[in-house]
């Protein structure tokens, strides 16, 4: 079963809702949990499920993603496994960029012709979860489905952002609507467990995870040449045509990281004593690039609910409920609360140490700073006595040196913040 499945991970479009984190990189390349990239999540799920033929589709800012894939996922010569990037390209059949999820797969599907497969597993590149895809594919086969959609119950507040469906007593999807308006939601509630009802989770949402039979996917593309999106067009058309569209209920933690708020909340939640997303699983590991960094060094720092990645030099006075990424440098007397510090691509050199000044501080965070409710992207230089305090008192927008989204201050990659700056 596993060797008959090819996985396709959708890299997403411009990632405007994650701007400015996606200004220099594609969504799947955004750092998460201190040392990983978002794309590591679906790839790790594939590898843990025994699926080793994986394509990643992308078209915007793909250089860093290409580099990460190349440096991370190398298989031995005898496994026939691969993780390959498929960037948008002009072909005799299309000169356009990817127009949607279905169009991306349609334009790329000719690359699958050199491989033997029966099933296509379509995944999103911007979600945080752990799933055994083999169980999903086994259920798809046992149900005799043409198409299977992984589903999860959500609240009315979240339902308008997802594809919502109704199922019959056999678990088959008989109606589907993409991102219903709030006034239409009353027609789309489903029966869920008493526990889920108490949480208000009575709407069955698509997780953006699909299993297609090879022939059925090709047929749907041929019969619907103008359809560009799976949720808006392909799935409803399959249902209308009488195809057997199966719902695969997922039980477990899952979150869509499509906005700055969801990205921030998902990362901070990882600092809890027993987070819902388990990075410390002996069997379902999350893989990433092996950087061979030294262990982190901490001096005089009080830590509480903190994730600290490798290669850090930390002299801060206190860090609380925060994620500190690789090679981070944090100076004496600094306090960091409820923040994400993504770290640096390099350690400071003796030349950097000699050239530092109040206008051009070292990469990292200086002395006596106070940072709260912020995301500090990679290779940022923050001087001494800088104060950054996010919250509802700040107006969203783009400013000199920083952005504000939903009260969260984002310091973009490579920004220099001089001594004494206050946000």
Q: Say how far apart CA 236 and CA 218 lie, in whole Å.
A: 16
382, 361 Cβ separation under 8 angstroms: yes
Predicted TM-score (pTM) of this structure: 0.93
248 shares a domain with 365: no
190 shares a domain with 51: yes
Give the pair of three-digit tokens for residue 395.
């107006």
Among 216, 261, 255, CA closest to 237: 216
CA angle 117, 118, 119 (to 5 degrees): 100
DSSP 233: I
306 shares a domain with 256: no
325 shares a domain with 206: no
Q: Is residue 22 part of a domain?
A: yes
In this structure, what CATH number is given to the domain that contains residue 179?
A: 3.90.550.10
347 shares a domain with 233: no
Which of 225, 251, 269 is the C-terminal boundary of a domain?
269
Distance of CA 336 to the CA centre of its chain: 24
Ranges under pLDDT 70 in the chain: 1-3, 12-15, 61, 88-98
Q: Say how far apart CA 18 and CA 372 lie, in whole Å.
A: 19
Among 54, 62, 55, CA closest to 27: 62
Q: 49 by DSSP, 3-state: which?
A: coil
User: How many structural domains comprise the chain?
Assistant: 2
pLDDT at residue 121 in the model = 98
Quote the domain boundaries for residue 27: 2-269
pLDDT at residue 24 in the model = 86
382 shares a domain with 338: yes
Q: Is residue 64 part of a domain?
A: yes
Among 217, 214, 187, CA closest to 203: 187
Q: Is residue 283 part of a domain?
A: no
DSSP 77: T
Relative orientation angle of helices 214-223 and 101-108, to the nearest 10 degrees: 110
Cα 115 to Cα 81, 379, 380: the distances in Å are 11, 41, 44
Q: Is residue 279 part of a domain?
A: no
Distance of CA 52 to the CA centre of its chain: 20
327, 321 Cβ separation under 8 angstroms: no
Q: Who's near 351: CB < 8 A, 6+ residues apart? A: none
Q: Who's near 52: CB < 8 A, 6+ residues apart? A: 2, 46, 75, 79, 80, 81, 82
Q: Give the DSSP per-residue string, 338-405.
A: S-EE---SSPPPHHHHHH--SSSPPSEE-TT-EEESEEE-TT-EE-TT-EEE-STTSPPEEETTEEEE
Q: Is residue 274 part of a domain?
A: no
In this structure, what CATH number is given to the domain that contains residue 311?
A: 2.160.10.10
265 shares a domain with 225: yes
């Amino acid at each position: 079963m596993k060797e008959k499945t090819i996985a396709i991970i959708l890299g997403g479009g411009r990632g405007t809702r994650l701007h400015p984190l996606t200004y220099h990189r594609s969504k799947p390349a955004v750092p998460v949990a201190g040392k990983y990239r978002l794309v590591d999540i679906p790839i790790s799920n594939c590898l843990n499920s025994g699926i080793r033929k994986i394509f990643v589709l992308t078209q915007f800012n793909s250089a860093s993603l290409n580099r990460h894939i190349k440096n991370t996922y190398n298989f031995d010569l005898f496994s026939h496994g691969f993780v390959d990037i498929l960037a948008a390209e002009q072909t005799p059949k299309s000169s356009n960029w990817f127009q949607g999820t279905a169009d991306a797969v349609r334009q790329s599907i000719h690359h699958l012709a050199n491989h033997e497969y029966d099933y296509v597993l379509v995944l999103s590149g911007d979600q945080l979860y752990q799933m055994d895809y083999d169980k999903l594919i086994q259920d798809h086969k046992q149900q005799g489905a043409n198409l299977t959609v992984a589903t999860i119950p959500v609240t009315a507040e979240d339902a308008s952002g997802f594809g919502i469906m109704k199922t019959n007593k056999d678990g088959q999807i008989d109606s589907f609507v993409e991102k219903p308006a709030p006034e239409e939601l009353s027609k789309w509630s489903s029966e869920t467990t008493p526990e889920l009802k108490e949480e208000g989770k009575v709407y069955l949402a698509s997780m953006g995870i699909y299993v297609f039979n090879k022939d059925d996917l090709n047929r749907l593309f041929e019969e619907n040449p103008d359809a560009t999106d799976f949720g808006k067009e392909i799935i409803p058309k399959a249902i209308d045509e009488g195809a057997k569209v199966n719902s695969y209920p997922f039980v477990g933690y899952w979150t869509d990281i499509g906005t700055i708020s969801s990205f921030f909340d998902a990362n901070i939640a990882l600092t809890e004593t027993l987070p819902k997303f388990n990075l410390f699983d002996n069997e379902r590991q999350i893989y990433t690039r092996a950087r061979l960094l030294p262990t982190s060094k901490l001096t005089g720092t009080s830590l509480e609910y903190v994730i600290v990645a490798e290669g850090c030099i930390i002299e801060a006075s206190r860090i609380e409920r925060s994620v500190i990424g690789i090679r981070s440098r944090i100076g004496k007397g600094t306090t960091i609360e409820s923040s994400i510090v993504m770290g640096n691509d390099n350690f400071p050199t003796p030349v950097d140490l000699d050239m530092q000044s109040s206008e051009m501080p070292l990469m990292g965070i200086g002395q006596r700073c106070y940072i709260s409710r912020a995301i500090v992207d990679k290779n940022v230089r923050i001087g001494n006595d800088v104060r950054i305090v996010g919250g509802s008192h700040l107006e969203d927008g783009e400013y000199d040196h920083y952005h504000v989204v939903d009260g969260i201050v984002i310091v973009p990659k490579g920004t220099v913040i001089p001594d004494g700056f206050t946000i």
